[in-house]
Amino acid sequence: MAKVGTVDENGVLWKATQPGKLTEGYNGCANLYESLANSAKMNLTRKTAGARPILRTEQEKGFEKWVLGPYEWMTYGQYFNEVEAFGAGMAKKLPSLGSGDTVVIYADTQRAWMQAAYGCWRQGLVVGTIYATLGEEGALFGINQSKCKAVVADSKLLKILSKICSQFATLKDVITIGEPDVKAREALEAAGITMHLMDDLIKLGKENPSAATPATSSARGEASNATAVLMYTSGTTGNPKGVLLSHKAILSTVGATVSNGSPCNVKGKKMIAPGKVYLAYLPLAHIMELAVEITMFAMGVTVGYGTTGSVTASSPKMLQTNPPQKGDAMALSPTMFVAAPAVLDKVFVGVNAKFDALEGWKKNAAMKGLENGKAQFAKGKAGTSGLLPSLVFKKVRALLGGKVEIMITGSAPLGKDVQIFMQSVFGCPVRQGYGLTETCAASCITNGDDNGTSVVGPPQESACIRLRDWEEGGYKASDEQDAEIGMRRGEVLIGGPTVTSGYLNDAENPDPEITKKNEEEFVTIDGIRYFCTGDIGQYTKEGNLMIIDRKKDLVKLQMGEYVALSKVENVLKGSKYTQLPMAYASSTMSYAIALVCPNIPKLNELAASLGVTGSLSELCADPKVIKAVEEDMVAVCKAGKLVKFEIPTKIILIDDLWTPDNDMLTAVNKLKRKQIADKHRTQIDAMYV
């Protein structure tokens, strides 16, 4: 395979197409507002942002279910006119808001979210983002720490704001998306908060148009260096951190992602271009989704909004009807699909279960198709061969609309088996990306024509990578000379124009922890500013980056050996009985254990083969089932070349899947280790008796 990345004499990894050079900005835009304004001119009558109306709701076993209508669309011209009007309406109704002030958006992903953001950037305001799932404590922290004067909020989240409104330090105005709850509105107004409907501000702005006042040259520096986004990370422990992202940083990610050398191009064909279609359903308060949507709007892509609860017909928010209604993906038919690996893991488990339930020629065709898919994958291709497998897979592809040309994953490693399976069944490249909030998401993306597994690609043209020796963990540049390793290894440092300005810290009352992080987590080397990620990586011979470990996930056992928890988890995902694993180790003990949310269909099959019956809770507690799962996982760990002390000695099968809703995962499906350990403390302690 051809080189995709180039390592210079200083050990810095660059994209092979432009070693030693970094792309800055996008298309000459000074700010994010300009990126939309220019696109609207070019794509005036093209569909821009679509949304599905909720036609009716019903209660089913205590949960609200929806019946959704078809997508309703705006053109780029209509969309941009509403952005203009919202900005003008804010200028008229909220004159206290000045350039550089923060407006927090506290809402689920939807069309109005990005319109509010662009309207803020039109006025030179900073957009603060808070996850809709953070709740009272997280919302209060972000609103007060950011010293925001206004919040744009989902009407359904006003109840949370009403409970904490007496503690707001600077907030004076709340702009609601949709009609507010009467009691919540009364509570907020009683606390001195002025309420506004977003629709009313748009109407006001249309009646009172004004010139845009986006970020411009000022004492703070060039417009592109001004802060565009204050993004609060979801965090696995403690208060969320506010990451300061400039217009230039985000535009540099856009510029690299749509360049001729973009990893999102497949066989010379651009996957991000006018006429392409994108399904937006991931949290906009997360950098990956925000960066993707800004890129899509800048390029004239059609964006249809959905939700995690309605992506497919069987998603939890969808009311089961006859005939079945279409999920968002089937209704939209996106050409690009972006998902966290946890989402693809669920698809992998669900589709595999359907294939296992097939009989006769359909099952034979599916199995043959998967074998063909592996062969095609080995040749660097996507999909399968043969008429019958194509017929079987066509129905599965229809779940996502049948037109997906590329899938991108990020936020966590994607298993090799899942990647090959998804690429075979859906007939398109499945590529991993890597980045952090602090580096504007897509620092690396595997090239569209590269079928490599377990790699996150070379850096984009807007970034470069250094690996810093980590002696304690045993990862060094000199590992390249070790015959058994053969690769340079170390802590990943990401450099370039996409790196954050730092973490928000109150100049008048600085947080010592944030001060320390701003001093220690950013370094400048040879004139390039780097963020020290805490992730451990290695370079492949082709110039791809692989993420193999995490400094914070390292636990020292009683006898002095170090166990990398995320490394163990990535191997455990290879077990057919695993849906979601968490490795756990105590420094006072000599062995590690694993907590596993099981692949339920496979667990049921195993139980039946062992003659065991009962509920999921009973199966998870059955000694015969546990022993069989342990044996499979030990075999998988040995095949994954884990050393003896890394292999979990005991496992706990969990009968209640961890999710963001039960606070066991972050909003982007990362493990909250402390919360999980606290919840299952009794079971963990029993494993260490």
The pLDDT score that the predictor gives to residue 238 is 61
CA angle 344, 349, 352 (to 5 degrees): 115
Across 150-154, 222-226, 634-638, least confident range: 222-226
Across 240-249, 362-371, 648-657, 660-669, least confident range: 660-669
CA angle 247, 252, 258 (to 5 degrees): 125
Across 2-6, 59-63, 434-438, 645-649, least confident range: 59-63
**8 A C-beta contact, residue 210 and residue 26:** no
| CATH 2.30.38.10 applies to domain 1-22+458-550 | yes
pLDDT band at residue 558, thresholds of 50, 70 and 90? confident
**8 A C-beta contact, residue 47 and residue 75:** yes
Residue 217 has pLDDT above 50, yes or no: no
Residue 245 has pLDDT above 70, yes or no: yes
Task: Tell me, rounded to whole angstroms, the distance of Cα 500 from its chain centroid.
Answer: 18
Residue 210 CA to residue 233 CA, distance in Å, equals: 34
The pLDDT score that the predictor gives to residue 235 is 53
Mean pLDDT of 393-419: 90
Mean pLDDT of 618-633: 95
Instruction: Name residues whose C-beta falls within 8 Å of residue 121's C-beta, 6 or more positions apart in sequence.
Output: 31, 32, 33, 127, 214, 215, 228, 247
**8 A C-beta contact, residue 557 and residue 585:** yes
CA angle 277, 283, 289 (to 5 degrees): 50
Residue 56 CA to residue 54 CA, distance in Å, equals: 6
Q: Give the 3-state secondary structure of residue 368.
A: helix
Instruction: Name residues whose C-beta falls within 8 Å of residue 349's C-beta, 6 or more positions apart in sequence.
Output: 579, 599, 601
Q: What is the DSSP string of 216-253?
A: -SBTTBSGGGSEEEEEE---SSSSPPEEEEEHHHHHHH
Q: Which helix (H) or strand (E) holds 158?
A: helix 158-164
Residue 221 has pLDDT above 60, yes or no: no
The pLDDT score that the predictor gives to residue 57 is 95
Query: Where in the chain is CATH 3.40.50.12780?
Result: 32-303
Closest of 296, 253, 256 to residue 278, by C-alpha: 296
Tell me the average pLDDT of the chain: 92
Here the tokens at position 67 are 């019946």
pLDDT band at residue 1, thresholds of 50, 70 and 90? low
Closest of 195, 191, 168 to residue 182, by C-alpha: 195
Mean pLDDT of 344-366: 86
pLDDT, one tens digit per residue, over 420-473 is: 999 999 999 999 999 999 999 999 999 999 998 989 999 999 999 999 999 877
Residue 648 has pLDDT above 90, yes or no: yes
pLDDT band at residue 344, thresholds of 50, 70 and 90? confident
Q: What is the DSSP string of 542-586?
A: TS-EEEEEEGGGEEE-TTS-EEEHHHHHHHHTTSTTEEEEEEEE-
Mean pLDDT of 69-96: 97
Class of domain 32-303 as given by CATH:
alpha beta
Residue 10 CA to residue 17 CA, distance in Å, equals: 18
Count of residues in the chain: 689
Residue 415 CA to residue 570 CA, distance in Å, equals: 7
**CA separation, residue 300 to residues 35, 77, 297 (Å):** 10, 11, 5
pLDDT, one tens digit per residue, over 475-503 is: 999 999 999 999 999 999 999 999 999 99
Residue 248: is it exposed, middle or buried by C-beta count within 10 angstroms (0-12/13-18/19+)? Answer: buried
Provide the percentage of residues in the chain whose pLDDT is more than 90: 75
Residue 416 has pLDDT above 80, yes or no: yes
Domain 557-687 fold: GMP Synthetase; Chain A, domain 3 (3.30.300)
**CA separation, residue 645 to residues 275, 462, 559, 570 (Å):** 53, 40, 10, 16
Residue 302 CA to residue 277 CA, distance in Å, equals: 5
Owner of token pair 């939309």: 36
Query: Where in the chain is CATH 2.30.38.10?
Result: 1-22+458-550
**8 A C-beta contact, residue 680 and residue 654:** yes
Q: Which helix (H) or strand (E) holds 164?
A: helix 158-164
Residue 411 has pLDDT above 80, yes or no: no
Query: Where in the chain is CATH 3.30.300.30?
Result: 557-687
The pLDDT score that the predictor gives to residue 563 is 85
Closest of 560, 549, 574, 528 to residue 645, by C-alpha: 560
Closest of 275, 310, 309, 272 to residue 291, by C-alpha: 272
Residue 137 has pLDDT above 90, yes or no: no
Instruction: Work out whether the CA dihedral 670, 130, 254, 16 comes out positive or negative.
Output: negative
pLDDT band at residue 223, thresholds of 50, 70 and 90? low
Task: Tell me, rounded to whole angstroms, the distance of Cα 143 from its chain centroid.
Answer: 23
Residue 638 CA to residue 642 CA, distance in Å, equals: 6
Instruction: Name residues whose C-beta falls within 8 Å of residue 149's C-beta, 6 or more positions apart in sequence.
Output: 94, 96, 97, 101, 102, 103, 170, 171, 172, 173
Residue 559 has pLDDT above 80, yes or no: no
**8 A C-beta contact, residue 328 and residue 109:** no
Closest of 436, 444, 458, 670 to residue 532, by C-alpha: 436
Residue 562: is it exposed, middle or buried by C-beta count within 10 angstroms (0-12/13-18/19+)? Answer: middle
Give phi and psi for 534, each to the nearest 5.
85, -5
**8 A C-beta contact, residue 86 and residue 92:** no
Residue 419 CA to residue 423 CA, distance in Å, equals: 6
